[in-house]
Structure 1
């Protein structure tokens, strides 16, 4: 008899030839965490591990058609949305996921891929803030992105973090995981309608990494697809990301890439102690 299918997660995002972020990074993360990933491209990049030379978006109708074909064929357990290049593509994605409001949606927007900052255009931020954020189960973003989403037209001074989070929650986002980078620590804080739910602190890696936000978002999506509650998924996904970061490698002349299959190594079995989390084995089987 054939084996039962693993949970299926549908991810939307850019193609990255290096495998460091975007769709490729999502698929690696989902596979590592016991899910089958299916994907819909929002565009593609021309880049290596050091630089991005070009970002090209796909037609919104193509994005929507591909997503609906997958949804009509397979039981999707979670959505993850990463970078998009155009407001029209965001609108197409929002229209699709609105028809499946019982499926959890993880939103991990990225406005920093392109050196020319086309991904930070006001209309793109507005479409994410108005159309996708209100449908989101859990929004993963740094403080700059949260402020941009809370004041997407850029006409006024950016709101403070508390005001930005309160605004996004009032618009419909269920949970927000705020990522703050400090000198020596990363401080991630989870908020819900009850206020702050948890805060986790991690050692900051000494080198530049690609794809941390995408990986964190995909890990949360995988855990939700496996039946975890959002707060627990946010905690365990951070542990996964931290261990992938510990074993990052540098395949080229640019950024380090995360080792998303760190648990597959069997040459040691050390424990890692991090503030805010229990000791976890450095190499372990995937969470699910």
Structure 2
């Protein structure tokens, strides 16, 4: 029987008043993946969304007292370390970690802010590499930090070394795995690379977003820690933490034969903030489905929204759509996952059954859908799904949940408050006079 309580993840980190990074970002990330967040403050920072103006390290005794108090009371499923503040703090935390050798330890070695403000000195780096890295399950430096940590004894090597060489050195320091993130490299795509057992395990390529962001390293490491706390393997956790998450308004197309009208309505929904689009037309021929889905794909690409195909794995692969959603009778989920690969989104309808959700997660889905949550005009004979399913999912599932069935602007807040990550809407969105405004109203509920 699954544990009714969410796994607890403890972060040691500095504060960030903007919540884009640091302790606040860790807490938000843990909670979003169904973990109970715990925290130890290592430093207080003065910063905004652009950079760090100052750091006040906590006294090491206070760090120790904070940690020991919570550790004597709560069982921890994973540790995450961020900005640690001082050599003394690093030494104290290393002693604490030594008492919990079986709990995964993830380290985001925060050497600088996103803007480049120094957050660690040479003494802190040496303490980190000698006291903490030998105990680490995973360290997650960006490419600049990886080179700096690996070749701290040779400034000439830092600028010329490869990331593979850096990873080899970092693994030799004792960490079981190293994930080097590539946001600081001058490449068209962002490449994150996982190393372990003295070899490259897997590289992950992602489209580089326009603009500059801080806190991506904090969030990624926290997400991996949360996934490990849920029992995923390291490779599974790293992949899951990087996947595009299903959240917000999940728009499902209505049965419209006129493709131009369909495109106009969908674009209005995307302009209003819909985060996901599922193409579904139960009345269309295979030819029309192919035509409409093919027409929707570039529109979704334009708005950076994934296009998920309902029921048809074949159509998804033919068009190279972003994913597929399947019902209970649409195929074996594990076989479909193997067929479409890890890069595409796989969703599953679980109706009113939590056991189906647990099985779907085990099979490798990216989200599960429960419904009908309310009386549905699209499926009047659908089973009724209790909102308690979403509350249960918050503690027992690592994948997002989607609420579907009879959802309107009037009742959507009920499923969101119950814990649904996304709401799937058809008629209450596309049957309205002003689809864009309706989409905006749904989006504002989150």
Classify the TM-score, shorter chain. 0.7 to 0.9
Among 230, 233, 251, the alignment partner of 1:226 is: 230
Alignment-derived partner of residue 237 in structure 1: 241
Partner of 1:209: 213
Cα distance in 2 between the residues matched to 1:115 and 1:194: 32
Matched, 1:168 2:234: no
Aligned position for 1:256 = none
| Structure 1 residues 154 and 194: alpha-carbon distance in aligned structure 2, compared to 1, 3 A threshold | closer
Q: SS of the residue aligned with 1:13?
A: strand
Determine whether 1:287 maps to 2:289. no
Distance change >3 Å, CA 264–CA 76, structure 1 → 2? farther
Give the corresponding residue for 1:263: 247
Q: CA deviation at 1:210?
A: 1.8
Deviation of 1:146 after TM superposition, in Å, equals: 1.2
Cα deviation code 1:189-247 (max 9, x no counterpart): 111115111111000110111210000000000000000000110111111xx55xxxx
Alpha-carbon distance in 1 for matches of 2:29, 2:116: 28
Q: Which residue of 2 aligns with 1:277?
A: 343
Q: TM-score, normalised by structure 2?
A: 0.55
Equivalent residues in 2 for 1:19-38, closer than 5 Å: 19-38=19-38
Match of 1:187 among 184, 191, 201: 191
2: CA distance, partners of 1:277 / 1:135: 32
Q: Look up the match of 1:130.
A: 130
CA distance, structure 2, for counterparts of residue 222 and residue 265 of structure 1: 24
- Counterpart in 2 of 1:60? 60
Distance of 2:120 and 2:67 partners within structure 1: 24
Residue in 2 that maps onto 1:94: 94
Q: Which range moves more in the overlay, 107-116 or 90-99?
A: 107-116
Using the alignment, how far apart are the partners of 2:72 and 2:367 within structure 1? Answer: 35
State the match for 1:120 in structure 2. 120
1:107 paired residue number: 107
CA distance in 2, matches of 1:166, 1:216: 22
1:133-158 deviations in Å (ceiling 9; x for gaps): 11111111112111222233556632
What secondary structure, in the 3-state scheme, does the structure 1 residue paired with 2:157 have? coil
Number of aligned positions between the proteins: 265
Query: What is aligned with 2:434?
Result: none
Match of 1:246 in 2: none
Deviation sequence 1:101-138 (CA, Å, 0-9, x none): 00001111111139784423100111111111111111
In the other structure, the counterpart of 2:9 is 9
Q: Does 1:81 align with 2:147?
A: no
Give the CA deviation at 1:32.
Answer: 0.3
Report deviation, 1:180: 1.7
The aligned runs of 1:37-52 (5 Å cut-off) are 37-52=37-52
Deviation at 1:9, TM superposition (A): 0.2
Gaps of 5+ in 1: 244-261
TM-score, normalisation: structure 1: 0.84
Q: Are the structure 2 counterparts of residues 276 and 5 from structure 1 closer, same or farther at C-alpha, using a change threshold of 3 Å? A: closer
What is the CA–CA distance in structure 1 between the aligned matches of 2:85 and 2:142, rounded to whole Å?
19
Q: 1 or 2 for the larger relative contact order (CA 8 Å, sep ≥6)?
A: 1
Q: Distance in 2 between matches of 1:12 and 1:265?
A: 34
- 2:195 and 2:88 mapped to 1: Cα distance? 29
Q: Distance in 1 between matches of 2:219 and 2:346?
A: 19
Name the counterpart of 2:255. none
Match of 1:250 in 2: none
SS in 2 for 1:92: helix
Report the more deviating stretch, 179-188 or 112-121: 112-121
